[in-house]
Chains A and B, each alone.
Chain A
């Protein structure tokens, strides 16, 4: 779709921003065998409906705390709340331990896992304040604003790729004062009480979210980009096939409190994954965000909203590609290169802030293989994206 035959940079070299000072752990993140030892290589249940429900419950609690007790009291209550979830949510505990072992290169003790879950709860509490617009006591510093401004000034819209690291809500808080509208492409919790609470907190939320699920979602993204707006996408979570039973209709989105992300947006899209090394082992990333960014032809930056202290956030923008080009002829390789570049930069941030990694989804699980009849009419071989997958026959 990008018609230009030239080869714009697939990405800039990994960031050289001097941010090592905040490193929450000085451990080297040595490569680690795929087995991930906290669980002995046993396949883990996906971060599934039950976990999402617990997640939603936790979010609701945080919203209530934020609205009724304020930040300080809320923070104090995070300890008993975290303790409860530590005991009651073994899946979250295991997911945390698995990630920490990988990023630290050694088994993570219960204390560190507790701190990780506490950090997650703290992020949700802060998020409630961001959503409620009660950010007066928060400080948000922005790094890389000049690069973002330069990208905006080109008038071609801007695609921001983020990850489940820190709080993407910092981007929306920033968006309130940004020169152009900022929208998030995400799975919106389209049912249930939690989304209603969130919408009440921020009535503009609906407009700021482009909901993945319907075929026209990407048209809405394109229209936003054509208006010169910013579209944020979390690019580190492939759609969960388990949450999308075969033949799922597009509107059967992931459940309550679903985190943003994009792959293909429906059952068929689950197949579009790219497997690249990430923190020492092969991991599945969604191809969708990259294909979309390439199709839109907009400049691409990375963004990270990281908590650097109590009520302190740093929003970082880092140049990624002036234009992501995935030429048809060599699309699989170009796509892999782009995902690899993203994964490296994400890993760099994740190593610096391991306790702010909130993607409790098993990226390193066995390669997901499309059901044989996933695309009954379209043979995989020439689907450029599928070529990038690990399946032997494809």
Chain B
């Protein structure tokens, strides 16, 4: 993780586990594994819950018309990158 990264992967992993009520240690979420479909196996209802949790926690709104959504939701790492990038602005 780079030094300027304000958001840790573990922190977001905790948020995911808590928001979606997963029976899973946050540490067990592989940073590069897909969150949806294969991998963690989340679905679009989870995506909504996760988006709301991120909005509450970080004050940033995920929009349905954001072309990067697929990439943002691709993995824990890409989600963290998105949060960092958006907060940095």
Contact = CB atoms under 8 A, between A and B. Distances in A.
A327 B63 CA distance: 26
A216 B24 contact: no
Given A215-B69, A247-B37, A266-B36, A384 B43 contact: no
Interface stretch (B3-11, B46-54, B80-88): B46-54
A254 to B, nearest CB: 14
A181 interface: no
A375 B66 CA distance: 27
A249 interface: yes
B22 A216 contact: no
Interface residues of A, number: 41
B39 interface: yes
Nearest to B25: A377
Contacts, number: 121
Interface stretch (A46-54, A81-89, A219-227, A307-315): A219-227
Given A295-B52, A381-B23, A383-B23, A219 B47 contact: yes
B60 interface: no
Interface stretch (A15-23, A32-40, A96-104, A267-275): A267-275
B67 to A, nearest CB: 10
3 smallest beta-carbon distances between A and B, as pairs: A264-B43, A269-B43, A220-B64
29 contacts: A215-B44, A215-B69, A215-B73, A216-B47, A216-B73, A219-B64, A220-B64, A222-B51, A248-B37, A264-B45, A264-B46, A265-B44, A266-B43, A266-B44, A268-B37, A269-B44, A288-B44, A288-B45, A295-B49, A295-B52, A375-B41, A376-B41, A377-B29, A378-B41, A379-B23, A380-B23, A382-B23, A383-B22, A384-B21
Given A267-B41, A379-B23, 15 more contacts: A214-B70, A216-B63, A217-B44, A219-B47, A219-B62, A222-B52, A250-B37, A264-B45, A267-B38, A268-B42, A288-B43, A291-B45, A377-B41, A382-B22, A384-B21
